[in-house]
Amino acid sequence: MPLASTQALILGSFPINEQDKLTQLLTTDRGILKAVAPGALKSNNRFGSLLELFTEGNFIYYWNEEKEMVTISKGDILTSFFNLVSKPENIFHFYLMAEMILKVIPYNQKDKRIFRLMRSVLAARDKNTDIDWLFLYFQIWILRIEGLMFNPDICYSCFSTDLKEAWHKADFRGILCRKCKTDEKNHFSEEELQAIKWTHRHPPGQKSPGIVANDIRNLNRIFLQKLEYHGECSFNSKQYLPDFR
């Protein structure tokens, strides 16, 4: 069977029998891979802490073209984010990010931006960037990568530009200006629209000027609903974050 190697972040792992784990890898070159880690549940297993959530490692694996899953032969840790991810103020945000990737991004979608996005969010949090802002940045870019993010400059109905405020359509497929809105509930202020544009050209460690905590919470709530709507799914991890229930 062919051998290959990849750099990846661990999105999750769980037992599939008494000895082995099923692991989901966010790779740099092949998107998300399902991988069996043989012997990972043994007391003397060769993987150690490599399979912890969002550990970054180099993995050697082999595959059979007739099977969906690959098998990890061995791996080495590049960066352990365990101490960062496991902090009480971080853990549920990172669980939710992992769940979003797994439920929204198709397996084997070869888009390197997803790995770079998650790696840059982890690095920014390691430098104490606000976790709610990083979660917002993450959501905006997942929507952007999947072609689901609206243009924050243009009304979906009348195509007017330079909006000072807007309302999200009920089907989450665009925004409306004051003249075109009817009974839409989700409102965007000028500062919130500017923050969405800001993320397009700035790394996550830089926060949009003028954005405040209430704006960030509002945008996070709306975009979580938008991802659930388009993904036709519900994110279980949101139950642990009061702002998203």
Out of 3.40.640.10, 3.40.50.10540, 2.40.50.140, 1.10.3720.10, the CATH code matching 3-80 is 2.40.50.140
CA dihedral 157, 186, 203, 116 (to 10 degrees): -90
Could you give the C-alpha distances from 157 to 143, 180, 223, in angstroms and in order? 21, 7, 20
pLDDT at position 66 is 65
Assign 162 to helix, strand or coil. coil
Distance CA 2, CA 10 (A): 22
Amino acid 1: pLDDT: 58
- Sequence-distant (6+) residues with CB within 8 A of 86 are none
For residues 77 and 132, give the distance between their C-alpha atoms in angstroms, rounded to a whole number.
28
Inter-residue contact 237 to 227 (CB < 8 Å): no
Domain edges within the chain: 3-80, 85-240
DSSP code of residue 29: S
CB 188 within 8 A of CB 168: yes
pLDDT score at 42: 86
pLDDT for 108: 82
- Look at residues 4, 118, 21 and name the one whose alpha carbon lies nearest to residue 63: 4
pLDDT of residue 82: 93
The structural architecture, per CATH, of the domain 85-240 is Up-down Bundle (1.20)
Per-residue pLDDT of the chain (245 residues; tens, 9 = 90+): 578 899 999 999 999 998 999 999 999 999 999 999 998 888 777 888 899 999 999 999 987 776 778 999 999 999 999 999 999 999 999 999 999 999 999 988 889 999 999 999 999 999 999 999 999 999 999 999 999 999 999 999 999 998 999 999 999 999 999 999 999 999 999 999 999 999 999 999 999 999 999 999 999 999 999 999 999 999 999 999 988 76
Distance set, CA 78 to CA 12, 24, 49, 204, 221 (Å): 17, 17, 12, 22, 34
pTM: 0.94
